[in-house]
Amino acid sequence: MSNIIYGKNSFLEALSNNRIRKAYLLKDSSFIKELEKRHIEYETVTKARLDSLSHNGNHQGLAAEVAEYKTYEVGEMLKDENGLIIVLDGLKDPHNLGAIIRTAECAGADGIIYKKHNSVRLSDTVAKVASGALEYVKVAEVTNLVNTLKFLKEKGYWIVGTDAAARDMYDRIDYNMNTVLVIGSEGEGISRLVREECDFMVKMPMHGHINSLNASVAAGIMIYNVLSYRQK
């Protein structure tokens, strides 16, 4: 099974990692010579064809079939110290997933875990929003988040969840430890059973009329807070 990616950043990262099976591009594209040099199959197409392949996304004149997105085992993400894993509990929006993958890659996080069922999964939209980061971030799909969190705790990880009603502020925790950040779904937050596995629940300051952040924004703040704390 192949997946379609589109847009310059996603295309370039897939090209550099030798994952393109077939490219689709405009006849005057500057990438044609490079594709021929690498002996990669390509087809020159119309803008309308690229619009169709990208579901009218911002393809920037480039699309490609790539091998099925690789997923990893949770055990492949483990570190001896100062590990950082992001767990997504019921996320639904592919744009949020893509943005979190991009942030995780920039921050050097060790991986992202989400449920295989009833949540967003890897797709062309996710790959586009991730802007090539999907080529580098380890992603694991699991059937049971609670059991996964129990496994991570057995391996020495501490679980940090986010909740607007939490007692502790997000920047008051000692993150010099193997850390799992749990980000809840866009509408319902962290589920009860996942919450029960959290060692810490933290909140971010809210001074406006709305009491919650977009999931990808919250993840970005939490991820970089961990990095900032560890660099003190």
- What pLDDT, in 10s, does the model give residues 119-162? 999 888 898 899 889 989 999 999 999 999 999 999 999 999 99
d(CA 102, CA 69): 15
d(CA 85, CA 106): 13
Tell me what pLDDT residue 208 has. Answer: 86
d(CA 148, CA 114): 10
Residues of the chain with CATH 3.40.1280.10: 74-230
Q: Which positions of the chain have pLDDT values less than 70?
A: 1-2
| Cα 195 off chain centre by | 21
Instruction: Enumerate residues 6+ apart whose C-beta is below 8 A from 177.
Output: 81, 82, 157, 158
Residue 18 burial (CB count, 10 A)? 10
Contact 25, 42 (CB under 8 A): yes
Nearest in space to 141 (alpha carbons), one of 123, 159, 166, 165: 123
Tell me what pLDDT residue 1 has. Answer: 41
| Cα 162 off chain centre by | 18
Strands (E), the chain: 2-6, 20-25, 41-44, 62-67, 84-89, 111-115, 139-142, 158-162, 168-169, 179-184, 200-203
Residues of the chain with CATH 3.30.1330.30: 2-67
Tell me what pLDDT residue 125 has. Answer: 85
Nearest in space to 110 (alpha carbons), one of 215, 15, 227: 227
d(CA 152, CA 180): 8
Structure tokens at 21: 């099976």
**What CATH number matches the domain at 74-230, 3.40.50.300, 1.10.287.1770, 3.40.1280.10, 3.20.20.70?**
3.40.1280.10
Check: CATH 3.30.1330.30 for 2-67?
yes
Instruction: Enumerate residues 6+ apart whose C-beta is below 8 A from 105.
Output: 130, 133, 136, 137
